[in-house]
Amino acid sequence: MTENRLKAARAFGLAAAALGCAFVFIVTSSVVLGGGAQAFDEAFVRSLRSDADPALPAGPGWLTPLAHGATELGGTPFLTLSTVLLAGWFALRRRWMFLAILLAAVLGETLLSQVLKEAFDRPRPDIVPHLVHVSSKSFPSGHASSGAAIYLTIAALIAVQLRERASRAIVFAAAGAIAFAIGASRIYLGVHYPTDVIGGWSLGAAWAAIVWIAARRIAQR
């Protein structure tokens, strides 16, 4: 495949990813607004708790600390520290484009997620006790959207410096696994419905793709 065709294929793939994720978010948000997923959401959250005591998570005991650890990976303290360290590294190496992509992904997703939370104004699940403290609205999940947007962006920044296709695939697979674990942990801890997390994942992935498309356009000028 020639260089031009390869670039065109990558551009098409990014555009398809952005549109596909945006479509998933729109469909999910429409279902949430219409109330069509509420029964499923509540049943799913209840299924992750003990029948005898809804305060007790279902499954083996090690799942709860694992969920707490996963949720911290998408929390503000960890993501802020990671962003500052990575941004500092890019600045020291004068990788200004990489720095701009990272900051656009982080700051843009944070603002977008908060605006949408207030717009949808969906209450948190109240059918089981929460296993972590929460204070914001429920849809979309901020942890899920941040995890998808930031970890996929970091994966892309790493992947463009790798030559082997297998190595790039491993990097993206790792980022996807982290984002999945973060979102799943929010449901397990009882602070989000499944549709909150699906909405967060799709929003974050769409934003990451949009930022990368914009960066490619700027670099080509």
Between helix 96-120 and helix 76-92 the angle, nearest 10°, is 160
Phi/psi at 118 (nearest 5 deg)?
Answer: -70, -35
Whether 130 is a known active-site residue: answer: no
Q: Answer positive or negative: Cα dihedral of 73, 185, 122, 208.
A: positive
Whether the Cβ atoms of residue 191 and residue 132 lie closer than 8 Å to each other: yes
Q: Report the alpha-carbon distance of residue 23 to residue 21 in Å, rounded.
A: 5
Q: Where are the alpha helices (DSSP H) in the chain?
A: 3-34, 38-47, 63-73, 76-92, 96-120, 142-159, 165-188, 194-220
User: Token pair 């390869």 is at which residue?
Assistant: 6
Whether 133 is a known active-site residue: answer: no
> DSSP string covering 24-77, please?
HHHHHHHHHHHTTTHHHHHHHHHHTB-SS-TTSBSS-TTHHHHHHHHHHHTSHH
Q: How far is CA 76 from the centre of its chain?
A: 13
Residues with a known catalytic role:
143, 192
